[in-house]
Amino acid sequence: MALVRDAHCHSCGAAFSDTSTYPRVCAQCKAQVWANPIPVSVVLVPVRHQGRVGLLVVRRSIEPKKGLLALVGGFLEEHETWQQGGAREVREETDVVIDHTSLVPFWFTSTEPRPNRVLLFSTATEMDASALPVFTATNETSERGLVFGPEGLEAVFAFPLHIEAVRRFFAARGITGAHEFITV
Ligand SMILES: [Zn+2]
């Protein structure tokens, strides 16, 4: 049997007769079930390394897009602001501690073709590579590194909208050229 999301009412458990659309209204208790787009907080962390500024990235060790690079981010927990959730993801995935109050909104966009996620990109305060703590690989990220430019990201990055955010970041600083990934 195929698994159908929200096949039953969240309040009383009655089965929905029509599971093709949202919102669903329960025939028994009249409760509604919605499937709103989910926000994702993604943080661009500028890191100065040997006179240049790169962006902090991780190599994914989970699907989807296992083995490719991504900016750091994830879903928010119910008690978190987008700033707190973004800072937590940076800490969990890279061991880098950032002040969540220092995050500045950078760009937001809906996913394509299904607009079921809203990506909230923000920028952290620039730090120096010498200040990065030791990185310990997790079951989600196998490597921590930097990219230094916009070119060639399609070949190494997992998600097109992360590429777009990185391009916007470097374009705003007048930085061109190869991405030049390095491990940090
Ligand atoms: Zn119900």
- Please write the tens of the pLDDT for every residue from 106-147: 999 999 999 999 999 999 999 999 999 999 999 999 999 999
The candidate with the shortest Cα–Cα distance to 70, out of 95, 37, 45, 104, is 45
Going by pLDDT thresholds of 50, 70 and 90, the confidence category of residue 73 is: very high
- Name the average pLDDT for the chain: 95
Q: How far apart are CA 152 and CA 103, in angstroms?
A: 27
CA–centroid distance, residue 24 to ligand 1 (Å): 10
Token pair belonging to 131: 């200040």
SS3 assignment, position 115: coil
CA–centroid distance, residue 17 to ligand 1 (Å): 12
pTM comes to 0.89
CA–centroid distance, residue 102 to ligand 1 (Å): 43
Token pair belonging to 80: 């978190």
Residues 6+ apart with CB under 8 A from 70: 57, 58, 60, 157, 158, 159, 162
Q: How far apart are CA 37 and CA 111, in angstroms?
A: 9
CA–centroid distance, residue 28 to ligand 1 (Å): 5
Residue 48 pLDDT greater than 60, yes or no: yes
CA–centroid distance, residue 110 to ligand 1 (Å): 31
Going by pLDDT thresholds of 50, 70 and 90, the confidence category of residue 5 is: confident
CA–centroid distance, residue 16 to ligand 1 (Å): 9
Going by pLDDT thresholds of 50, 70 and 90, the confidence category of residue 2 is: low
CA–centroid distance, residue 29 to ligand 1 (Å): 4
SS3 assignment, position 135: coil
Q: How far apart are CA 84 and CA 8, in angstroms?
A: 33
CA–centroid distance, residue 71 to ligand 1 (Å): 40
Going by pLDDT thresholds of 50, 70 and 90, the confidence category of residue 155 is: very high
- In a 13 Å sphere around the CA of 50, the CA atoms on its Cβ side amount to 4
